[in-house]
Amino acid sequence: MNYALIITLATGLFFLIGILLYKYSKRKKELSIFGTSCAFVIILGLIIFDLLPEVLQYKSFISLIFILIGLFILKIIDLFIPHHEHKHKDNDYLTKEHHYHLEHIGIVTLIALIMHNYIEGIALYSVAIGDVKSGFLFALGVGFHNLPLGIEIGSIIKNKNSIWLIIILIFSSFLGGLTALMFNDIPAILTNIILSLTLGMILHLLIFELLNELINNRHKKETIYGIIIGIIVLVIINIL
């Protein structure tokens, strides 16, 4: 039995757990605000402690080009996802306009995380195939990272047409593991390009989408709780 491949599959299931937690929660509004603020902190940590160091290690001008391309790709996607710009106001959470805005953020989040988790699946498989214990600890850290993001996705994705993106996200790490299994060695330049594209996309998501939600909900206690839990998750991930 290929335990390394099973481990890559398990990390994606944490997204599903987060989505189900939101679905069956009786306090969806509060959980939505909590999930968004927690996801902001975790994605910021993902950029600082994971993606940026990995991209910088290549010391290549190509990285900068593909980071900018990643930003540009999500700007293009913006044009095809209407009704996401709006001004926040009282009882904003109850308006259709705000739900369209959250739906937009959800789709952007899904696209960026699919690319990131695909690459992460390749890395996770490579670790786990050499040492199952190390792979398990790595997967546990990834799982803690994916759980609150799953809550955020569950809180903002309402469109049934997005279900396929959610399914791809859940299996994205597994698909990365399958790629590593099939090809054994992914060319460094290709890994650099995908990582750089992902970094550009996630920077767009953080700065132009999640930050706006965080600022507009800054006075809510769920935002504070989300930030605190996000920091705790980052500490746990880095300890593991």
161-199 pLDDT, tens digit per residue, is 678 888 999 999 999 999 988 887 677 888 788 888 878
- Looking at residue 101, what is its pLDDT? 57
12-21 average pLDDT score? 90
Predicted pLDDT of residue 88: 47
The position carrying tokens 């670790």 is 127
Taking only the tens place, the pLDDT of each residue in 29-64 is 888 788 888 888 888 888 888 788 888 988 888 999
Question: Where is pLDDT greater, at 119 or 91?
Answer: 119
pLDDT of residue 83: 44
Residues of the chain above pLDDT 70, percent: 83
DSSP string covering 98-150: HHHHHHHHHHHHHHHHHHHHHHHHHHHHHHHHH-HHHHHHHHHHHHHHHHHHH
Helices 163-183 and 96-130 pack at an angle, to 10 degrees, of 20
- The total of other beta-carbon atoms located within 10 Å of residue 20's CB is 13
Number of residues assigned to the chain? 240
Identify which of 48, 86, 71 has the alpha carbon closest to the alpha carbon of residue 216: 86
94 CB neighbour count, 10 Å cutoff: 9
Distances (CA, A) of 88 to 8, 32, 204, 215: 39, 16, 20, 10
